[in-house]
Amino acid sequence: MKTEKFSSSLPSSQSPPLDSKNALLRGVNALIVQQATDGSWEGEVVWCAMLAAQYALTCYITQTPISQKRREALLLQFTATQLPSGLWGLHNQSEPYLFTTTLVYVAARILGVNKDDPLLVPAQQFIQQVGGVIAIPSWGKFWLAMLNLYDWRGVNPVLPEAWLLPDWLPVHPKNYYCHTRLIYMPMSFIYGRKFQVPLTQLIQELRQELYVSDYNAIAWKAARHALRTEDVYNPPTSILRIIYYINNIYESLYSKALRQKVSHELIKNIQYELQTTDYTSLSPVSGLLNIVALWLYDRNDQNLHQTINHLEEWMWEDEQNGLRIAGARSSTWDTAFAIQALKVASSNLDVSASLLKAQTFLASQQITESFPNYQHFHRIDPQGGFCFAGVWHGWPVSDCTAEALLALTNAPSTVLSSCNLQDAVKFILRCQNSDGGFGSYERRKIASTLEWMNPAEMFGNSMTEHSYIECTASCLEALGEYSLHYPDVMSQEIDIAIQQAKLWLLKQQMPDGSWPGFWGVNFIYGTMFGIRGLLAAGETKSPAIRKACRWLVSKQRPDGGWGEHFQGCLTNQYVEHTKSQIIQTAWVMMALLTVGTNHWEAIAKGANFLVNMQLENGEWPKQDWAGVFFHTALLDYTLYRSYFPVWALGMYESRRKERISLESV
């Protein structure tokens, strides 16, 4: 479990002058203060209370005791994440969600909170006002069914037998996006058992609190398709409804022997997943379901006990926000970016000691060997890759590998001797899609996106891998940088990959010059990467880059900063924020400075905004969250506001010195 770190203020009786050079120095010092003793950086990736609630529910289902101290910490997290309405959403800026509110409500009741407690009164009123939990999204139906708070007849089937479909069928689960695949794997096993906890007095009370009519009189078959509109981003298609209809017919006729056989195979897949992720799973979303599945299969399974113990790896705790479970761990990602920020700053400051420690750590995080039998379990060969979290996680990502490679460029030979950059390049190339773009964890396996059968109504574009602007750009930069240092190694293969990726990236540019993001908010994030990717591909005089720069400059706000609102992730349109955002301003400055100094006035105004927003201790204040996934889930990458402004100011100082030098000539 991670304890949240708090950076100490830099000792100073007087604040230094607010100029860019001093701001850079203060920002670098504040960043180095946050470096761990092993050389890494890691900030918490903050999401919502869903995972903390599901942790409490998992413990209840599996009869795993929760200490009083941990109960209090979980309840503190529920209190800290309440929206102003007293309800809970999918993130801190969302409207109230019946899904999240219900899970938190049930978890709090299980943890001993009375229904009349001020923590739960708004939720109780909300649930009654919307007609009870009948229309909760499918994931909510599933969790409530395990808790004997929803009848399995009201849950559309998650058939284990889907894993027995012929491999050549596009709808085979092996073709799903890895997170989706590994979430529905344990769900399939659990659905096959239709397990429910015993009907206790607490469960009977909850049935009365969660419904507006008699639980035993509910028309469960009709409830299958009931969905609260406000919780739905991606409504079920007519084709998916037909699939549900066929699956429900199958469910009434299935062979018990066949189900037992496929369930046993699913357990083998779950065990493999745990053994190759240091018993953490790809994410806690699938990991908690894996625990329930293994508990149902064999309560003495050693994989089960290891996994329960390793849940701590996902946890963060402090006295302000209590116990939360992060959707991801980010030491490789954060360290790679922090190194690059310091490398830029190193032309103005001596940060060699910190850099050496960081690069030594990062080099140790590469996966050096293939996993046995990875193809049988529908995995890509991980050798050479870097994970978002750390080497222990076992799931390398294309852009994490690319950013790590960029961070390790020019590292001392003693550092590079403990990793293999060529293997990193090979892994990156394995993630390239047939359209030229790059996926995240693996290349896309089929042509269809399968969105027409997406059963997760709260999220979009989550069924298969895609080609992503950000991943493609990072991979282009890494491949280009590697070719500069090792021009005779894999040159033809790299050149072909770069040309294909460049053409794909050019095709994705919007008519106004921007690129949409997928993993960050939103067009500013995508456009920063689009520009960097094309420059890395040799498009130094490209009209596409000039157009993109003009678009960025056109979005500058009167105070010199830039600000884009999360709402644009839902509408796929640029939505200006009411306030300039520090992280987004840094992104724009980095993009413009990578191109040159053609928009110096806008860049200088952006630098002035960052300087003015800096705190006395060298850090920058919290603002709106800048990360996102699957369009609807906003994330707070807490270290983004530490290293991106440093990176931007470091580039600014270097360019400023160049301009002064040229003017003096």
Q: At which residue do the structure tokens 């049988």 appear?
A: 376
The region that residue 34 occupies, defined by phi over 0 for left and psi between -120 and 50 for alpha, beta otherwise, is alpha
Indicate the pLDDT class of residue 3, thresholds 50, 70 and 90.
low
Phi first, then psi: give them for residue 353, nearest 5 degrees: -65, -45
pLDDT of residue 618: 96
Q: Are β-strands 2-3 and 315-318 bridged in parallel, bridged antiparallel, or unpaired?
A: parallel
117 classed as catalytic: no
Supply the pLDDT for residue 341: 98
The residue-averaged pLDDT of 241-258 equals: 96
The pTM of the full predicted model, rounded to 2 decimals, is 0.95
Tell whether the model's pLDDT for residue 304 goes beyond 60: yes
Angle between helices 469-485 and 421-430 (to 10 degrees): 150
CA distance 382 to 380: 6
SS3 535: helix
Write out the two tokens for 150.
Answer: 């929803």
How is residue 366 written in tokens?
A: 């590469």
Helical segments of 211-255, H only: 220-223, 238-251
pLDDT, tens only, 391-423: 999 999 999 999 999 999 999 999 999 999 999
Q: What radius of gyration, in Å, describes the C-alpha atoms of the chain?
A: 25
Is 6 a residue whose pLDDT tops 60?
no
Q: What is the pLDDT of residue 541?
A: 86
Q: Which two tokens stand for residue 471?
A: 């991943």
| pLDDT class of 661 with cuts at 50, 70, 90 | confident
Q: Mean of the per-residue pLDDT values for the chain?
A: 95
Of the residues 399, 435, 495, 559, which is catalytic?
A: 399
**Alpha carbon distances (Å) from 97 to 102, 119, 130, 149, 294:** 8, 16, 11, 18, 30
Domains of the chain: 2-45+327-369+377-450+459-664 (1.50.10.20), 48-325 (1.50.10.20)
C-alpha–C-alpha distance, residues 226 and 429, integer Å: 44
CB 358 within 8 A of CB 338: yes
Under 8 Å between Cβ of 521 and 472: no
Distance CA 433, CA 620 (A): 38
Question: pLDDT at position 348, please?
Answer: 76
For the chain, the straight-line distance linking the first and the last C-alpha, in angstroms and rounded, comes to 57
Q: 3-state DSSP call for residue 3? A: strand
pLDDT reading at 18 higher than 70: no
Region 172-185: mean pLDDT is 98
pLDDT of residue 4 exceeding 80: no
- Cβ of 634: how many Cβ atoms within 10 Å? 23
pLDDT, position 2: 66
Per-residue CA distances from 500 to 87, 299, 494 (Å): 47, 50, 10
H or E element in which residue 577 lies: strand 576-581
Tokens of 437: 């773009």
Cα–Cα distance, 564 to 629 (Å, whole number): 16
Query: What pLDDT score does 346 carry?
Result: 86
pLDDT of residue 79: 98
Phi and psi at 597, nearest 5°, equal -120, 25
CB 336 within 8 A of CB 362: yes
Task: Please tell me the distance from the alpha carbon of residue 580 to that of residue 353, in angstroms, as a whole number.
Answer: 34
Q: Of 523, 502, 643, nearest to 571 (Cα)?
A: 523
How far from chain centre, in Å, is Cα 199?
36
Instruction: Report the alpha-carbon distance of residue 324 to residue 3 in Å, rounded.
Output: 11
Q: How many CA atoms lie within 13 A of 228 on its CB side?
A: 25
CA of 481: how far to CAs of 61, 230, 251, 497, 591, in Å? Answer: 50, 46, 54, 14, 17
Q: Helix 331-345 crosses helix 352-363 at what angle (to 10 degrees)?
A: 150
pLDDT, mean of residues 287-291: 98
The three-state secondary structure class of 533 is helix
Cβ atoms < 10 Å from Cβ of 451 = 14
The pLDDT of 4-23, averaged and rounded, is 52
